[in-house]
Amino acid sequence: MVTPGLFITFEGSEGCGKSTQITYLRKYFEQIHPLREVIAVREPGGTALGEKIRQLLQYENSHVSIVAQAELLLFAASRAQLVREVIRPALQRGAVVLCDRFLDSTTAYQGAARALNHDIVEVINTFATGGLLPDLTILLDLEVTLGRARVHQRSKKSAMIDRMEQESEAFYESVRKEYLNLASLQRERWIVMDASLPPEQVAQNIIMKLQEKIACVK
């Protein structure tokens, strides 16, 4: 009998530490269930097509304009490919799938911050995912000013400038507000973590919360 798959997504604004926490949690699952497959994927990306879309969305030359509607559809295209090529097959094998962003990012970024029609965003999200929802979503909540300071510090070490990271403080306040709103409306699925704490402490807090939610983490 195949163990049911487990789908956990990480959400949060820029600089909140998603990649770091996914690495911590992946190692934790591999330690407590060494025979169980654990995979980590990211959005946009995770497939050959998705990585090309990621490059376009994040690092295309500034003279290439991407309107909000096109941005929404590009994220959806990457997600549709990722769900069908990677996530669903992995869940069917009984794997633990840790995903850096999923449909809630689109709701927060394109729906709220870009002010696109909520109903249209929801329809496109559902179409792209085929109705797939995470079992749990971990929101790494962080004050916008702190997140932007982290991004600025990180950018000093990289020659690549992320298009999304150049948005205004007001844009990211809208993103954060929408994430917290989503978490308050769907408490069974969401876990909100204070991402201002040291990374090791955040990781410990995540594991404790997951232990309260799902038996396989114990």
The span from the CA of 70 to the CA of 86, in Å, is: 24
- 3.40.605.10, 3.10.180.10, 3.40.50.300, 3.30.1240.10: CATH of 6-217: 3.40.50.300
Q: Domain extents for the chain?
A: 6-217
State the pLDDT at residue 79.
98
**Inter-residue long-range contacts of 169-176, CB under 8 Å, 24+ positions, other chains counted:** 169/144, 169/145, 171/113, 172/13, 172/14, 172/113, 172/144, 172/147, 172/148, 173/144, 174/108, 174/112, 174/113, 175/13, 175/108, 175/109, 175/112, 175/113, 176/13, 176/141, 176/142, 176/144
The span from the CA of 207 to the CA of 185, in Å, is: 22
pTM tops 0.85, yes or no: yes
Low-confidence ranges of the chain (pLDDT < 70): 1-2, 60-62, 155-161, 218
